[in-house]
Homo-oligomer: A and B are copies of this chain.
Amino acid sequence: MSTTEEPAKRRGRPPSGGREAILSAALMILREQGIANLTSREIAARAGVSDASVYYHFGDRAGLLQAVFAQGMKPLQFMAGMDLAALEPAEVVSTALIALEQFFDDVLPILHAAQADPELRAALAEFIEANDLGPHKGVRLLGSYLRAQQQVGRVRADADADAVALMIIDAAFARSARKQMMLQGKEQLPSGEAVLREITRLLT
């Protein structure tokens, strides 16, 4: 969406901040308490407003959740502003794994919350598709980097760039999901470094 340029005067926003406080509180509750506890009262209490205020700003619960989803799903900016060409493939993959895991840490609570109800799931899926936030975006980004490196000879030519990109994304996704779901257990799984080494072995 359009990034709001704010030179000195704001146009239509008396900055009472109520709306943003509500969104921020809702996102907080969603992330740490789950959607089952995301009620208008809880949100209002944590935002320091009355719960009628929630309905004033968002109409109904569906409108509120839509806004919360939109607020929480934004940052897929993923290695933005990095000079990828200057880095070793292994470094890029390592960076990508870390950035992707962080991205999923932020976003998975919202994805999970939407699974509680088919209408929410459909609404979120539609939002993701409309805003080009789906997994194919990561595949395209990482995959085209890998293809470029193939043409320069820094990544072996017989690798399927998009498939490797998807495997990287999936590894980060699963790591983040296990963390969130408290599924690591005591027995430890292979480290991120071990996975990184295997991916690197695919590329060289």
Contact = CB atoms under 8 A, between A and B. Distances in A.
A162 B194 contact: yes
B174 A117 contact: no
Interface stretch (A1-9, A20-28, A29-37, A85-93): A29-37
Counting every copy of the chain, the complex holds 2
Category for how many chain A residues contact B: 35 or more
A111 interface: yes
Contacts of A124: 181
A129 B186 contact: yes
Contact of A125 (B164, B165, B181): B181
Given A115-B112, A116-B34, A118-B34, A135 B198 contact: no
A136 interface: yes
Contacts of A185: 128-129, 134-136
Contacts of A129: 185-186
A183 interface: yes
A160 B190 contact: yes
A172 B185 CA distance: 20
A122 interface: yes
Contacts of A167: 167, 170-171, 195, 198-199
A177 interface: yes
Given A115-B180, A163-B197, 20 more contacts: A32-B118, A33-B118, A34-B118, A115-B115, A116-B116, A124-B181, A129-B185, A134-B184, A135-B189, A136-B188, A136-B189, A139-B189, A160-B197, A163-B194, A163-B195, A163-B198, A166-B189, A167-B198, A169-B174, A170-B171
8 contacts: A121-B181, A129-B186, A136-B185, A160-B197, A162-B190, A163-B198, A170-B171, A201-B202
